[in-house]
Amino acid sequence: MDQDLPLLDRLLAGEETAFDTLMSKYQRSLCHLAYRLVGNAADAEDLAQQAFVQAYQHMGSFQRQSSFKTWLYRIAINLCKNHRRRLRPSEPLSEEQPLSDGRPGVLSQLIADQRVERLRRALSSLPPRQREVLVLRVYDELPYEQIAAIVGCSENSAKVNFHHAVRSLRRQLNAAAAVRQTSFGELVL
Amino acid sequence: MRPFGKDRRAGYLIEYLDATLSAPERATLERQLQERPELRQRLEMLKRDFADLAALPAALEETPAREAQFRAAVWRRLHAQEEHSAADSRRRPRGWFWAAVPLAAAASVALLALLGPIGRFGQSPPAELVRAPLPPSELGLESNWTRFTKDQLEQASTALYAAVLPESAQPYVEALAPSAEEMLLELDPSDLDLALSELERAGATESRSSGSAT
């Protein structure tokens, strides 16, 4: 049973603090999901807020055929998708640097890591569906059944997209490594 | 069917790391991994990809204060929208619902033009149907709204007609069912709940007003 249903019932009965509890539970994962999909922290936060606003406004029409989390993620994914569609087709995602938490060391080391940066770029260049499935699988560790319900495809299609995404990332990383080797060779020559 | 394509081995390695291989497949692969160093190398690369992906830093600062600000922002937006829709509902229903009317009107006019002086469609359309259509992009309509059953679409279409269009337009609207379904199909999946909710709300409003009229 969906653990959020009692909260939804309380919310529908007029207890607004139940929605605060739901937000506390999902805001972090929703912000991260949106960030992985749109590549911009400010936009991600805005989209996550929009997702909660839509969920609240349409709570009455939630059919409970899926879990609340699936429904909420579906709203967020579609908002992100629409957001990306509004960008010009040729415009790449603005993969900004993550916000520093003020502590030197771990984050700055990661940011400096070229491999991480290449991976970030590769991730942002994946087709939307592959990126959605990969993000939901790797970061949210959702089962394929739930991923399929969120992105609106079959379970097998979710698996296929995950495979394509991983292999596409690997190909891009291999290509980047080859370019680096070539450049090095030219420099040596 | 396994989603491996041509490179079956890479597929198995991905499923191995993804922990979705069956026990016998896992045992077979582990035997092969012991025997084949190049396979182990590929697995190591994939492992590193997975680890790097998981380690990509998050963008958003996470502090209790910031999370409270986030929730406060959601409530502000909700209250602002409630005020806006309260003011708006005094004038007219809002959202995509009315945006659909110009499309229906345009389709109706086109249909009437096609049918010409045949039967009841030979009459002029009601004035309220003749509006300048807007391009779908300006209406915020998106494609790929295909997850819903035909029954759901038909139900939504019927409610759309009943709730949005004036009674005088009903004879014309009956002929629009295929177009309206296509129009509904143009909506984004995220709009299903919005659409159904708007339909329910419009239906409830209509019931209330017809109840109070009687």
B56–A contact, CB cutoff 8 A:
yes
A119–B contact, CB cutoff 8 A:
yes
A129 and A179 inside one domain = yes
Region B12-16 average pLDDT: 87
A81 and A103 inside one domain = no
Locate B92 and state its tokens.
Answer: 């007219």
Q: How far is B71 from chain A (nearest CA, A)?
A: 7
User: Does the structure show a pLDDT above 60 at B57?
Assistant: yes
A83 and A103 inside one domain = no
Could you read off the pLDDT of A174-187 as tens digits, one per residue? 776 666 555 444 43
Using alpha carbons, select from A139, A136, A158, A140 the residue that is nearest to residue A148. A158
User: Does the structure show a pLDDT above 70 at B172?
Assistant: no
Alpha-carbon distance of B132 to B93, in angstroms, equals: 19
Q: Which of A34, A56, A91 is the last residue of a domain?
A: A91
Among partner residues A27, A45, A169, which is closest to B49 by beta-carbon distance? A169
Q: How many CB atoms lie within 10 A of CB B73?
A: 16
CATH number where A139 lies: 1.10.10.10
Say if residue A106 is exposed, middle or buried (CB neighbours under 10 Å; 0-12, 13-18, 19+): exposed
Whole-number pLDDT of residue A73: 94
Angle at B156 between CA B153 and CA B159, to 5 degrees: 150
Q: What is the mean pLDDT of chain B?
A: 62
Question: How sure is the predictor about A17, in pLDDT bands with cuts at 50, 70 and 90?
Answer: very high
Could you read off the pLDDT of A123-140 as tens digits, one per residue? 888 888 899 999 999 888
Locus of tokens 């708007």: B198
Could you give the C-alpha distances from A140 to A70, A130, B120, in angstroms and in order? Answer: 11, 15, 57
B11–A contact, CB cutoff 8 A:
yes
A64 and A116 inside one domain = no
Among partner residues B1, B60, B197, which is closest to A35 by beta-carbon distance? B60
Whole-number pLDDT of residue B12: 84
A58 and A32 inside one domain = yes
Alpha-carbon distance of A154 to A158, in angstroms, equals: 6
A83 and A118 inside one domain = no
Whole-number pLDDT of residue A113: 60
Q: Which residue of A has its CA nearest to B199?
A: A61
Which pTM was predicted? 0.59
> Chain A partners of B197 at a C-beta cutoff of 8 Å?
57-58, 60-61
A62 and A144 inside one domain = no
Whole-number pLDDT of residue A72: 94
CATH number where A15 lies: 1.10.1740.10
Whole-number pLDDT of residue A25: 94
Q: Which residues of B, range 73-132, sit inside 8 Å of A by Cβ?
A: 73-74, 77-78, 81
Whole-number pLDDT of residue B110: 47
A139–B contact, CB cutoff 8 A:
yes
Q: Which of A91, A126, A156 is the last residue of a domain?
A: A91
Whole-number pLDDT of residue A15: 92
Q: Which residue of B has its CA nearest to A165?
A: B14
CB contact (8 A) between residue B3 and residue A163: yes
> Chain A partners of B189 at a C-beta cutoff of 8 Å?
74, 78, 152
Helix or strand run (H / E) with residue B148:
none
Contacts 24+ apart (CB under 8 A), B91-98: B93/B164, B93/B198, B93/B202, B93/B205, B95/B194, B95/B198, B96/B139, B96/B140, B96/B141, B96/B187, B96/B191, B96/B194, B96/B195, B96/B198, B97/B160, B97/B163, B97/B164, B97/B195, B97/B198, B97/B199, B97/B202, B98/B164
Q: Which residues of B, range 144-183, sit inside 8 Å of A by Cβ?
A: 147
Region B48-77 average pLDDT: 82
Q: How far is A23 from chain B (nearest CA, A)?
A: 7
Q: Which of A53, A73, A91 is the last residue of a domain?
A: A91
Whole-number pLDDT of residue A56: 93
User: Does the structure show a pLDDT above 60 at B41?
Assistant: yes
Which residue range(s) make up the domain with A123? 98-189
> Chain A partners of B52 at a C-beta cutoff of 8 Å?
115-116, 119
Among partner residues B49, B62, B197, which is closest to A170 by beta-carbon distance? B49
Question: How sure is the predictor about B46, in pLDDT bands with cuts at 50, 70 and 90?
Answer: confident
Q: What is the mean pLDDT of chain A?
A: 80
A77 and A104 inside one domain = no
Complex ipTM value = 0.77
Those residues with Cβ within 8 angstroms of residue B92's Cβ, 6 or more apart along the chain or in another chain: B98
Question: How sure is the predictor about A68, in pLDDT bands with cuts at 50, 70 and 90?
Answer: very high
A77 and A53 inside one domain = yes
Least confident interval from A54-63, A102-111, A136-145, B152-161:
A102-111
A43 and A106 inside one domain = no
Could you read off the pLDDT of B174-188 as tens digits, one per residue? 444 444 444 444 444
Q: Which residue of A has its CA nearest to B140?
A: A82
> Chain B partners of A52 at a C-beta cutoff of 8 Å?
74
B59–A contact, CB cutoff 8 A:
yes
| Domains of chain A: total | 2
A121–B contact, CB cutoff 8 A:
no
A103 and A189 inside one domain = yes
Among partner residues B49, B55, B197, which is closest to A58 by beta-carbon distance? B197
A124 and A185 inside one domain = yes
Q: How far is A25 from chain B (nearest CA, A)?
A: 11
